[in-house]
Amino acid sequence: MISLNDEQKRAVMHFRGPCLVIGTPGSGKTRVITERIRYLVQNCKINPSNILVITFTKAAALEMKKRYSKIVGDTAEKVQFGTFHAIFFMILKIAYNFTVNNIIHDSAKRNILKQIVSDIDIEIQDENEFLNNIETEISLVKSERLDLKHYCSINCSWDIFKKIYNSYQSELARQRLIDFDDILVYCYELLSERQDVLNIWQRQYPFILIDEFQDINHVQYDIVKLLAKPENNIFIVGDDDQSIYGFRGARPDIMQQFLKDYKDAVKYVLGINYRCCASIVKASSRLIKHNQNRFTKKLVASKAEKVPVYIKKFDNITEEDNYICNKILEYHQMKIPYSEMAVLFRTNIQTRTLVSKLMEYNIPFIMKEHIPNIYEHWIVQDILTYIRVALGDRDRAYFLRIINKPKRYVHRNIFTKPYVHIEELKYFYKDKLWMLDRIEQFESDLKFISTLKPFAAVNFIRRGIGYDDYIKEYAEYRGLCVDDLMNILDEIQEEAKTQKSFEKWFEYIKLYGEELKKQAEKRKALLNLAEKEDDFVFVLTMHGAKGLEYTCVFIPDVNDGVIPHNKAVLDDNIEEERRMFYVAMTRAKEYLHISYVKERFNKKTDVSCFLHEIKCGKL
């Protein structure tokens, strides 16, 4: 333990009773956990098979075990490392004779929900988006053990969500399947109701260590409290300032609750940052201190200040993207590998313009997370379908897609043939002059679109035909944020401005889609460690960057409405957005570039309040 600092040593040498270790960014928390395990085994003579180490991801568990193995060798096999789900499922397997076959696959889960939703009378334009949101809500209800009577869905009415939830649970029960959230819920119910079973596991693991405790949800915490009794030798490591998974039920106040639940708990703060240079530590500290719901802590850097944090303003996104690409090339010429550089975005849909620019500059990159193809979004598909029909495509599916966007009250049953002829539509409505007028206006609009350039065509579809009005009505009907949908339209119209013809635009859309498929293959290879030696820039979200570090980090689009996100209204939401930005900043070891734009998609936009906090109000 010679290389540990004093606070790290004190944490490592904690023996019995509850302990909270606040592991700030780059403070060596993983080292503290592995050294404490060794201390328990070698100095305190604890049987390694009585030690349980819980992490949040399988990769983190494997990495922790690997590090510990380097210290002690083969005896590491006796210590139980695992994720919450793996440990809790192990308990269920023994109690209920479950096997992995009882865990529902993601595809089967999606099919069940898809069938349930299809049987309900609800208008949704993007089925995948709706199902993703419903899955997230079902997970939240389970992980927080919420009563459906008091839960208000943000995606549909209370009655519809209740019907979906109950139908889904009934189908799981019928097939004797459980999902990942059920693993937690069933384990809690088992240990709460069966004292004999609980006693077995309490005797098995009298020493429990938990990493990334700030990401824990209530049901996980309740299970851990049960397992830790009666000795309460529970050693938790986390940082409330890095709690960014509120949508999964994680709350920073659970760490504060720990000290209330365990009055005799000892607290240690690992405040020395060994990762970031001093300028980054100072800037990120100025930011995060604006949060009220946090432990007070003093953060210091072990590295001297190498360069300042760069904060730049650009007129538009194109300028910003060009700057990032040029800086990446400049750093690469300084012999910094591409793999030591990362561009971090608040959301994955922001990445499209940069990805296009990276392709243009021939900079190798990888998107660590799935990035949705904006051209596959239902709104963009509507716009592109208008253009395809205007150019002469008469496919029935295309007509069905757009004929009532906006509403023209054309009945779907009219379209009985694979291809549509507008003359036949006019003939069908020949006795209804008001409908005939609508069909003729539709025909006239299509002819006009065919004469336009891409930018003008999108603009006419939105405002001349009235597609924007349709989107506003749809957003109101579904209770969605209309600005989010309008942003999609603004972005695609801005993209259309760079395209000289429909032909070139469709060609670009095809190439962009092919690049995303290549990225999917890269991600798959990366997961298999097949391309670990490859050199590429990482493009990822702030959520996806957690736990990672890079020599150079770029954080673009630090504008109001982006970060903090426009959906963040309550104080708790703003504080989580601030924590997210803090996490992003502290991924950088030496060079941190933060930028914002004066205009996004032809709309003026304000700088993020977070930058005022970093600069103490001066920008």
**What percent of the chain shows pLDDT beyond 70?**
97
User: What residues contact 424, with CB distance under 8 A and at least 6 apart?
Assistant: none
The mean per-residue pLDDT over the stretch 359-382 comes to 86
**The residue to which tokens 């600092």 are assigned:** 5
Does position 252 have pLDDT exceeding 90, yes or no? no
Beta-bridged to residue 151, according to DSSP, are: none
Q: Reading across the β-sheet that carries 234-238, which strands appear in turn?
A: 80-83, 51-55, 207-210, 234-238, 19-23, 266-270
Backbone CA torsion sign across 542, 543, 544, 545: positive
pLDDT, average across residues 417-440: 84
Lowest mean pLDDT among 228-237, 246-255, 318-327, 578-587: 246-255
Give the tens place of pLDDT for each residue, 50-87: 999 999 888 888 888 888 888 777 666 788 999 999 99
Under 8 Å between Cβ of 513 and 550: no
pLDDT confidence of 1, banded at 50, 70, 90?
low
* DSSP class of 461: I
H/E stretch holding 272: strand 272-273
Quote the pLDDT of residue 527: 54
Q: Are strands 80-83 and 51-55 parallel, antiparallel or unpaired?
A: parallel
> In sequence order, which ranges of 229-272 are alpha helices (DSSP H)?
253-261
Asked if residue 588 has pLDDT above 60, the reply is yes
Percent of the chain with pLDDT over 90: 54
Q: Residue 391: pLDDT above 90? A: yes
**Contact 420/428 with Cβ under 8 angstroms?**
no
Does the structure show a pLDDT above 70 at 20? yes
Predicted local confidence at residue 130, as pLDDT: 85
The pair of three-digit structure tokens given for residue 98, joined into one six-digit string: 């479950």
Q: Looking at per-residue confidence, does 272 or 71 come out higher? A: 272
Check: CB of residue 256 under 8 Å from CB of residue 239: no
Question: For residue 223, is pLDDT > 90?
Answer: yes
Q: How far is CA 445 from CA 343, 462, 467, in A?
A: 42, 12, 12
Q: Is the peptide bond before 308 cis (omega within 30 degrees of 0)?
A: no
* DSSP secondary structure letter of residue 406: S
Please give the structure tokens belonging to residue 302.
């072990």
Are 427 and 413 spatial neighbours (Cβ–Cβ below 8 Å)?
A: no
Q: What is the mean pLDDT of residues 13-35?
A: 93
Cβ-based neighbours of 1, under 8 Å, separated by 6 or more: 8, 9, 12, 35, 39
pLDDT of residue 533: 53
> Mean pLDDT throughout 293-306?
87
Express each pLDDT in 207-217 by its tens digit.
Answer: 999 999 998 98
For the cut 70, the answer to whether the pLDDT of residue 593 exceeds it is: yes
Segment 446-504, tens digit of pLDDT: 999 999 999 999 999 999 999 999 999 888 877 777 888 888 898 899 889 888 899 99
How far is the C-alpha of 420 from the C-alpha of 442, rounded, in Å?
13
Which comes out higher in pLDDT, residue 519 or 301? Answer: 301
CB atoms near residue 87 (< 10 Å): 24
The pTM for the full model equals 0.84
Average the pLDDT over 517-541 and give the result: 71
Whole-number Å distance between alpha carbons of 354 and 360: 10
pLDDT, tens digit (0-9, with 9 covering 90-100), for 129-185: 888 888 988 988 888 888 888 888 877 777 888 899 999 999 999 999 999 999 999
Rounded average pLDDT over 236-255 = 86
Binned at pLDDT 50, 70 and 90, residue 530 comes out as very low
Write the single-letter amino acid at 104. I
What does the alpha-carbon distance between residue 506 and residue 384 come to, in Å, rounded to a whole number?
Answer: 9
**Quick one: average pLDDT of 120-135?**
81
Closest CA to 51 of 39, 66, 67, 63: 39
**Beta carbons of 280 and 588 less than 8 angstroms apart:** yes
Tokens of 23: 């592991």
pLDDT the model gives residue 348 = 82
Task: At 150, give phi and psi (nearest 5°).
Answer: -110, 10
Q: What single-letter amino acid sits at 247?
A: F
Mean pLDDT of 573-584: 94
pLDDT attached to residue 410: 85
> Residues 179-213, buried b or exposed e (16+ Cβ, 10 A)?
bbbbbbbbbbebbeeeeeebeebbeebbbbbbbbb
Q: What pLDDT does 75 receive?
A: 64
**Tokens coding 254:** 């659970």
Distance between CA atoms of 20 and 7, rounded to whole angstroms? Answer: 12
Sign of CA dihedral 244, 247, 253, 255: negative
